[in-house]
Structure 1
Amino acid sequence: MNWDQSNWDQSNWDIGTWDQPSDYFSPQTKSNNRTKMRRQTYYPSRIGDQVNWLDNYAVKLPIHGAAIGVIAGDITASVNDAKYANYVLGTWLSAVRNFSPSTTDAVDDVLAGGGSTPMVLPSFTAPTLPAGVTAALPGTLTRIFALIAKMKLSAGYTEAIGTDLGIVGSAETEKALPKFSADLLQGGGCQCVKLTFYKYNHMGVYIESRRGTGAWEFLAIDTESPYEDERPLLVAGTPEVREYRMRFWDKGTPNGDWTDVVKVTVSP
């Protein structure tokens, strides 16, 4: 299915997602079982690297958040999630591990030790939270990953921003742009151009075209490949060079970077 210049009306689509009050960080009903969280390709596997990733995310989100449609309250909440997860994986977990040998010694003493005074079991005191960080609701990474998925659908999102935030994985880089080819077809009166594209898991592609020395102009939104450009020649009987480029299109909004330009000469 495609929309061309003659019937594209943005008013038919909800493009104001980020203007609505956000309930993104509202408490969720807790189930009896943990939800299995899918690890993202950009999120490291080693705990030490995870701590560094969370630290970078907490620093960079306030820099880029507004430009990619994240409201101030969600930036603050997501930064706190990242800092609290950082504290748990770093400072708190290290303290627990350092405390663990003393518990083993205490068990050994209780079961097989000697002495004339009653045992005093060791007690663990958690490290103090960093200034400005508050304990978060369960599911810090689940919320962070969900917010990242929403950010990537923003019209302002670019791969450069994603790289700075640390949210572009190796597998994702290969599919960060649509892939397409342009082939000539003979139509009624002149040649036409068939654009065969791959949108991967996105809803569709946003297509622009440029002819001759003209400016880039919106051509179509297409959710099913291929798209056929059947426009007549600018000057009847005169060949012209047409250039094409694409971005992804999701939920009423073009997003991501432009592809490389593909050129085709269309003849009468």
Structure 2
Amino acid sequence: MAKSDYFPHSDNDLLVWHDRFKANLATRLAELGLSAEDITGVESDNQELHDKISEGNAASAAARHATAAKTASVNNIQGKTRALVRRIKAHPAYSDALGNLLGIIGSEDTTKLAEAKPVLTGVDQTGGVVVLNFVKSRSDGINIYCQREGESEFVFLARDTIPPYVDNRPLLVAGKPELRRYTAVYILKDAEVGQYSDELVVNCAP
């Protein structure tokens, strides 16, 4: 039977493995015919692993914080802008010409839901959290289906009427990366309409 690769792929497992490799190797130099330079190289690699993984974790945390701050800012500004636009449109002096000048009249939606399919986009937030976005168009929302690594078919995940949708299920195996495939279809009056979206594949990092 073939053996699995001994070199770990998740950051946490890799650090634990390399720490053990370095420590045990240092006690077996003569026995294995290795030199002091060999262990020095391993120690240098070990320090580099710790430094780079730590830097990567810090960068990921900063990116998540920045993304959350941006989303909160956009939502806040959108809410204030919509409230102001409602006041403008309710004013007696408002006209479509003014609306076009200010860019507050939406374009005509000619989407035929019976032929349409959603376009899914997704961002991995690590730890199993994936933020999914879609354009609602003239539908009432979408039904989202997902197939996780090791599963044989897509299963219903959720119905979402206001994007984004956050899939916050934990990883199947803690600390191990996981591939997830998503697809979605529009819903109108509780019925699925149109075509299923193209598959979106997201690599979920620990």
Higher helix share: 2
- TM-score calculated relative to the size of structure 2: 0.43
Q: With a CA cutoff of 8 Å and minimum separation of 6, indicate the structure with the bigger relative contact order.
A: 1
Structure possessing the higher radius of gyration over alpha carbons: 1
